[in-house]
Structure 1
Amino acid sequence: MGRADERRARQRGGHRAAPGRRSAAPASEPSGGPGGPVGKPAKGRIRRLFTWKKILGTFFGLCLLCMAGFAALYMSVDVPAGNVAAQRQSNVYKYSDGTVLARDGEVNREIVDLSKVPRKVQLTFVAAENKSFYTDPGVDLKGTARGLLNTLAGRGKQGGSTITQQYVKNYYLSQDQTVSRKLKEMVISLKVEREKSKDEILAGYINTSYYGRGAYGIQAAAQAYYHVDAQDLTVQQGAYLAALLQAPSQYDWSTATPTGKRLVTDRWNYVLNNMVKEHWLDPGKRAALKFPVPKAPKGAPGMEGQKGYLVQLANTQLQNQIMKQQGISRSEAEAKVEGQGWTITLNVDRKKQAALEKSVKNQLTSKLEPKQRPVDADVQAGAASVDPKTGRIVALYGGQDYYSHWTDNAFRRDYQPASTFKPVILAAALEHEATTQSGTLIGANTVYDGTSRRQVLDHGSRVGFAPPNEDDANYGPISVQTAMNKSVNSVFAQMGVDVGMDKVMDTAKRLGMDTEGMQAVPAQTLGSMGASPLEMAGIYATLDNHGRKVTPSIIKSAEQQGRTVQLPNPVGERVLDRTTADTVTSVLTGVVDDGTARQSVANSALRTGQQVAGKTGTSDCDRSAWFTGYTPDLVTSVGLFGEAHKDGGTGCEGEKVKKFAHVSLKGTMGGGRVNGGGPPAQIWAAYTFGVTRQADFDLDTTQGAAVAPTPPPSPTKTPSQTPSQTPSSEPPTSAPPSETPSETPSDTPSSTPPTQSPTQTPTTQPPSGGFTPRNPFDPGQRDAQR
């Protein structure tokens, strides 16, 4: 019978067995087959398969396999470089008094050294997260295993990591919840424990953790929640920040629900109680601690207004110093400064900064009406204020708003300083003991020909330069003092050639002007080069500081993670003889009391007796207007610049105007010409007289308007010795009223010539004692000559 037949027979109930096969078992025999009841052979096989030897062997084999796998993992996983996001942090900029000016960076983080965090505040984090931190190997095997199982089971994020593991996750890895990431976390944690101290790990943890309110790191958190630096945190405040790490958003007191407030309070108590248990906090002190309710959130300081200009200058000066110290390029220095966690304290005085901003607003910007007068939209103002004794920049005005005008008007060098350069020419003449064409020593009393468009001569030869005076005014023979007061171009053009333009430009360089690429030509006597308000403030500060070089600095200190950059002293060596510097200062007091700054500065109602020296300046076509002036304790340079706010119109030379081009300021605020003695001097006076104290210049000189007048002649002198015989014997105030700045408040002298009728040639020195300048600080004399 074949297999098919046998199968059919079984289906019919047949009992015939196939040939060669055993008969079916008796009905009484279990169907499990021969050998007894069902399962007995299976149990035997199980016993034979799972013997103790095999179980132990398998266990140890698995252990060896795990160890080998871990060893391979340990060898293959290196400690990586910190991820970029964890290293990125804000630069923090502070005023000189330590209050925060601005934060600049994509991430609100400022890394601080652990030494700047109080010890008990450090321990609040240990008590909250990992009480065994100081004794464990950096890895919680039980917690890690639980986290792995939960991850495999899809139950999401689980806690239980040590502080070391959390630091590794924050700094070296990501927040992804994967098996591979958790295994790497464990391996890297063990390696980090071998390479770093516990303090370094704790510092890394508290500096990389997120605390809510956009704050990364304990310093940003301290500012965000309590408006203090990390070093000023109390233990109860530290306990709150440590409690926050469990659920920053839920535990933020300002937005927490009642449940959230209860939970964070419980967590806060848990932290402090753990500190008591670990003997890190006295029970009595613990009992006295009250929950420190955080302050309301405040917006992070931005770059609006003047802040951006201050930050920009601070970054530039820090980059310059790093470039000098490390010999690197500008781009490399920028990468080391921008968003790299610097704490930069500026020299800027918060009160002076506010006063300067207020002065510009009151004297200028509040009076501009661009919709009614298109020229008003072209006005840009810049100012820099410097302490001459220290070289510190105490206030700066870069423009109306950093976000709307990126160019820093206090730092830009594309406008001419005009007549504010004239004191440099006089300084060069005095320093080099230069003489006129006829061999007369140049000084404050020296007489020059003040005729407009007079050809400049070099020992009889014309040099091809004949500058006009403002308004083409002719003065005839005039003293250097009066020429400075009236800003007479023809006099200083000739003086520049008398001194030697190479010497003039060398003096400018030594005083702090960037003269690279400038030609030593007579045209430079008109201030036709480019200069910034900050640059001019430095030059005048050197004069105010008796010839010791002042390089204005905005940075008081710069620190990064405990490392401080060594900054140069803003006050350097002497670059001018003291008598030279003091004589220029003395002469410049005449500009204020008898010259182009008289109306806005000398006659200011805010002036309370301060001695002032300074110089106005107005460039060709009124494209820029300046006043740079100083008292014994403050130097400030103010500049107004015409900058086209859009394309269109015609320039001074008939050219088509493009946006940002230099254009005339004429007509600003509905007036006529804009001169240095106008808005710039008004801004200067409103600011300076509000922040300076009354003081006298300490001058070592016998020349200039600030020197006491010569005693009157004795009765025995004959009338023939009257000053009328000497060209410069009449003091500057003897000019007719039409020349006085009270009627013409600008660099432009009146076209009416002086009343003197000198008989000497314009380049001769008057007889000794012939020039008798008045003392502008003698109220009685000033009133008598007004």
Structure 2
Amino acid sequence: MGRAEDRRARQRGGRRAAPTRSSGATATAALPEEPVTVVGGRAAARRAAQGRGKGKGNGKNKDGRSFIRRLFTWKKIVGTFFAMCLLGMGAFVALYLMIDIPKGNADATLQSNVYKYSDGNLLTRDGERNREIVDLAKVPKPVQRTFVAAENKTFYKDNGVDLKGTARGLLNTLSGKGAQGGSTITQQYVKNFYLTQNQTVTRKLKELVISLKLDRTKSKDYILAGYINTSYYGRGAYGIQAAAQAYYRTDAEKLSVEQGAYLAALLQAPNQYDWAIATDTGKRLVKARWNYVLDNMVEEGWLDKTKRDDMKFPTPKAPKAAPGMGGQTGYLVDAANNQLAKQLVAQGTADNINDAVTMVKAGGWTITLNIDKKKQAALEKAAKSQLTSKLDPKKRSVDADVQAGAVSVNPKTGAVVAMYGGQDYYKHFRNNATRTDYQPASTFKPVILAAALDEDAQTQSDKPITANTIYDGTSKRQVVDDGSKVGFAPENEDDQNYGNITVQTAMNKSVNSVFAQMGVDVGMDKVLKVGSQLGMDTGDLKAVPAQTLGTMGASPLQMAGVYATLDNHGKKVTPTIIKSVENSRHSVNLPNPIGGQVISREAADSVTSVLTGVVDDGTAKVSVRDNANRDGRKVAGKTGTSDENRSAWFTGYTPDLVTSVGLFGESKKSGAQVSMYKAGGLPRVNGGGFPAQIWAAYTFGVSKTGLKFDLETTQGAAVQPTYTPTPSQTPSQTPSQTPTSEAPTSPTPTKTPTQTPTQTPTQTPTQTPTTPSTSTPTDGTDPVDPLNPNGQQ
């Protein structure tokens, strides 16, 4: 049997027989030149038996496998692959022939953004691009190379595209993962100048083709010049010349390598990496990026390592405001731009905040703000008359370190009707109304009470927490949880001891020891959850008792939103400065500022009721209650003064207007947080001082009179006066000192009573003593030990 026959025999399951050896009488010797196939034997029998056992099924399996083998042969697979490759190449060639290098798109042309007041009157025009094109020859060669080292080390060698990065970007776009993967300098320039920031498959394919053509038809210097002259660097600066002026007060031709490396690093995230407004994380990241750029230059042989080792990070200078943005205008424009950029990201028009900011800065937007022209003017006037006119840095150096910010919100619509960002946008670039780096202090206490009421929390002795619950107000009292001390004993202001007091009085006097214990009673995780629901940024905070002192960061904008939600009976209010947006190329869907119920109406209304006591019998009574312009307005609010007097707050509201005012100690020289002791000639800046005075001067000039809080609660000062009204000469006439509210006309009122009290005005109300001397709680629970009112061991 030859080789072919032998192969067929193996395929049939047989084998060639090996030459047999002699084995007794039965052995048969085969001739070496005539090999035979063993037909019998155990192996053959076993295979035959298996074949009989499988029957017809074996035939089907064999036929199925044969069909698959015929369908997916290596020849067909390879042929299909090459066919697809040829098809793709053909499609790309067609695209290459069809797509030409276009003219600069609309985003690359100069346009203005128009900003209007809520009534349609012009606020300002902005967007006349802060850009000055410079010839690449004027930019020092080492500075040019910092951009190449930062973005595209192979720039001088490649053909203008990064195929792997582009393929990755296409896949991410198709899969909905957004913009990822690197692009060459050529591709980025094409995107900036010829195309748009939108992340679509069509745009990416165009970017690829145009980049290839541009690289073939233009020099590398032409492309690099276009890239550094069209890119956005933050601070309203487009192009390297504007950036050099914005960050270092110099021309592009005078930039050092260190400065160039910083500007090159900025392009990755201009807002996050701007040293003047960067967080600690942002500063760490931009320094790392700066080092990365210089190290790449050493690697490419563009920078001597010895010189590199001697280089120090070039801290940028303080920002300067863009022309025409003086006074409050710049703050309003920046706030509107930031909100618009965030919305573009939220609705998917832009993939990230940097692209969104670029889209906004490109111009062509008509933005109508919610800012009421009259209220805006009134807020600016109040800040000047009640604060800045009383500060004299020549007499007291600390006066130069006082910054003020304020936000006023309509609680029914969420509209930001007025905003005060600082004395002047030219003089202080950062918006004090939106900054979140200062503690809100005791203005956080209403959040703790809201959590207690919404969660139906109880004290350590299982007593429901209400406005009348008695707590120990001793300064530096150890906070207890389940009978164990938690290691936190906060000091009251001026280390004052209050003894056993109601929650109402503790809110009026802003007693730290009471609310520290209340926070533990409620559960700090629940307190922070309610804070987040109301509008504070509490996501990364640790649920520890120290947070009861308001030690987290917050802005007047955030606090205005929190109190607006309380004023709106627990329905979420998200303050918005934008009323409407128009653009010929992009549509913007503004979300509803009024959301759903985040805490119960009863809890929100009870907090409002309690906060009326702060105004009428607490830390704000001098500036607010006794203000000659109050004219009977119903007011709720809370003061706050942080540790070391670095911030002071008053956030308050009438039924139709919520305003948060914050004062911040910021060193004029270094920008660091500093104390405000002796500012304005006062020993200490308290929330009941300048902040409450600004609030009252503004609010009592613009809010409506005759409105009452529509409260569904039986708790708090709004239904139970906390001080004795001063009678008039004739008992039948209205008392000369308006009570916080009238006495309830029924045992369980559901709204603030409007009738005149029927009891003699000279009598002292007995419902809620300001400082109870009895050991029996006013909420009707069992008597408690006056030295241990919460039943703690």
Tell me if the contact between 2:347 and 2:589 (Cα under 8 Å) persists in the aligned partners. Answer: no
Tell me if the contact between 1:415 and 1:530 (Cα under 8 Å) persists in the aligned partners. Answer: yes
Which residues in structure 2 correspond to 1:610-625 (within 5 Å)? Answer: 610-625=633-648
Tell me if the contact between 1:590 and 1:704 (Cα under 8 Å) persists in the aligned partners. Answer: yes
Could you say which residue in structure 1 is the equivalent of 2:555? 532
The one-letter code sitting in structure 2 at the alignment partner of 1:621 is E
Classify the secondary structure of the residue corresponding to 1:510. helix
Q: List gaps (5 residues or longer) in structure 1.
A: 1-74, 109-170, 173-299, 647-658, 714-727, 736-753, 771-786
The one-letter code sitting in structure 2 at the alignment partner of 1:404 is K
Distance in 2 separating the partners of 1:78 and 1:450:
77
Does 1:461 find its partner at 2:472?
A: no
Q: Over alpha carbons, which structure has the higher Rg? A: 1
User: Which of the numbers 688, 694, 713 marks the counterpart of 1:677?
Assistant: 688
Distance in 1 separating the partners of 2:115 and 2:453:
42
Could you say which residue in structure 2 is the equivalent of 1:424? 447
User: Which of the numbers 570, 573, 580 marks the counterpart of 1:547?
Assistant: 570
Classify the secondary structure of the residue corresponding to 2:543. coil
User: Which of the numbers 493, 502, 512 marks the counterpart of 2:525?
Assistant: 502
User: Which of the numbers 333, 339, 346 marks the counterpart of 1:311?
Assistant: 333
Tell me if the contact between 2:492 and 2:513 (Cα under 8 Å) persists in the aligned partners. Answer: yes
User: Which of the numbers 767, 770, 773 marks the counterpart of 2:780?
Assistant: 767
Distance in 1 separating the partners of 2:335 and 2:107:
26
The one-letter code sitting in structure 2 at the alignment partner of 1:91 is N
Give per-residue Cα distances to partners, 1:605-643, cap 9 Å, x unaligned.
Answer: 111111000000000111100000000000000000011
The one-letter code sitting in structure 2 at the alignment partner of 1:757 is S
Give per-residue Cα distances to partners, 1:391-447, cap 9 Å, x unaligned.
Answer: 000000000111211111000011100000000000000000000001111000101
Classify the secondary structure of the residue corresponding to 2:375. helix
CA 1:79–1:519 in structure 2 vs 1: closer, same or farther (change >3 Å)? closer
Does 1:665 find its partner at 2:676?
A: yes
The one-letter code sitting in structure 2 at the alignment partner of 1:449 is D
The one-letter code sitting in structure 2 at the alignment partner of 1:709 is A
CA 1:424–1:308 in structure 2 vs 1: closer, same or farther (change >3 Å)? same
Could you say which residue in structure 1 is the equivalent of 2:700? 689
The one-letter code sitting in structure 2 at the alignment partner of 1:101 is L
Could you say which residue in structure 1 is the equivalent of 2:774? 758
Does 1:566 find its partner at 2:579?
A: no
Distance in 2 separating the partners of 1:676 and 1:463:
29
Identity percentage over the alignment? 66
Distance in 2 separating the partners of 1:712 and 1:388:
29
The one-letter code sitting in structure 2 at the alignment partner of 1:667 is K
Give per-residue Cα distances to partners, 1:641-672, cap 9 Å, x unaligned.
Answer: 011112xxxxxxxxxxxx11111111111111
Which residues in structure 2 correspond to 1:598-677 (within 5 Å)? Answer: 598-646=621-669, 659-677=670-688
CA RMSD of aligned residues (A): 2.6
Distance in 2 separating the partners of 1:107 and 1:331:
17
Distance in 1 separating the partners of 2:102 and 2:120:
37
1:729 Cα offset (Å) = 8.8
Classify the secondary structure of the residue corresponding to 2:114. strand
CA 1:533–1:419 in structure 2 vs 1: closer, same or farther (change >3 Å)? same
Which residues in structure 2 correspond to 1:721-736 (within 5 Å)? Answer: none
CA 1:345–1:450 in structure 2 vs 1: closer, same or farther (change >3 Å)? same
1:335 Cα offset (Å) = 1.1
1:78 Cα offset (Å) = 5.5
Classify the secondary structure of the residue corresponding to 1:502. helix
Could you say which residue in structure 2 is the equivalent of 1:709? 743
The one-letter code sitting in structure 2 at the alignment partner of 1:700 is E
Give per-residue Cα distances to partners, 1:301-324, cap 9 Å, x unaligned.
Answer: 921110111011101110111001
More displaced 10-residue stretch of structure 1: 479-488 or 660-669 = 660-669
CA 1:77–1:665 in structure 2 vs 1: closer, same or farther (change >3 Å)? closer
Which residues in structure 2 correspond to 1:12-91 (within 5 Å)? Answer: 80-82=102-104, 87-91=109-113
CA 1:502–1:351 in structure 2 vs 1: closer, same or farther (change >3 Å)? same
Distance in 1 separating the partners of 2:684 and 2:697:
21
Could you say which residue in structure 2 is the equivalent of 1:446? 469
Tell me if the contact between 1:102 and 1:301 (Cα under 8 Å) persists in the aligned partners. Answer: no
1:459 Cα offset (Å) = 1.6
User: Which of the numbers 313, 325, 328 marks the counterpart of 2:351?
Assistant: 328
Give per-residue Cα distances to partners, 1:319-366, cap 9 Å, x unaligned.
Answer: 111001116111111111113210000000000000000000000001
CA 1:76–1:317 in structure 2 vs 1: closer, same or farther (change >3 Å)? closer
Tell me if the contact between 2:609 and 2:718 (Cα under 8 Å) persists in the aligned partners. Answer: yes
Classify the secondary structure of the residue corresponding to 1:380. strand
Tell me if the contact between 2:463 and 2:781 (Cα under 8 Å) persists in the aligned partners. Answer: no
Could you say which residue in structure 2 is the equivalent of 1:403? 426
Tell me if the contact between 1:101 and 1:301 (Cα under 8 Å) persists in the aligned partners. Answer: no
Q: List gaps (5 residues or longer) in structure 2.
A: 1-96, 131-192, 195-321, 720-741, 748-763, 784-793
Could you say which residue in structure 2 is the equivalent of 1:14? none
Does 1:377 find its partner at 2:389?
A: no
Tell me if the contact between 2:573 and 2:595 (Cα under 8 Å) persists in the aligned partners. Answer: yes
Could you say which residue in structure 1 is the equivalent of 2:384? 361
CA 1:340–1:672 in structure 2 vs 1: closer, same or farther (change >3 Å)? same
Distance in 2 separating the partners of 1:310 and 1:510:
26
Could you say which residue in structure 2 is the equivalent of 1:511? 534
Distance in 1 separating the partners of 2:569 and 2:500:
30
1:544 Cα offset (Å) = 0.3
**Aligned residues, how many?**
459
Tell me if the contact between 1:106 and 1:339 (Cα under 8 Å) persists in the aligned partners. Answer: no
Classify the secondary structure of the residue corresponding to 1:519. coil
Distance in 2 separating the partners of 1:664 and 1:397:
21
Distance in 1 separating the partners of 2:328 and 2:468:
44
1:83 Cα offset (Å) = 5.6
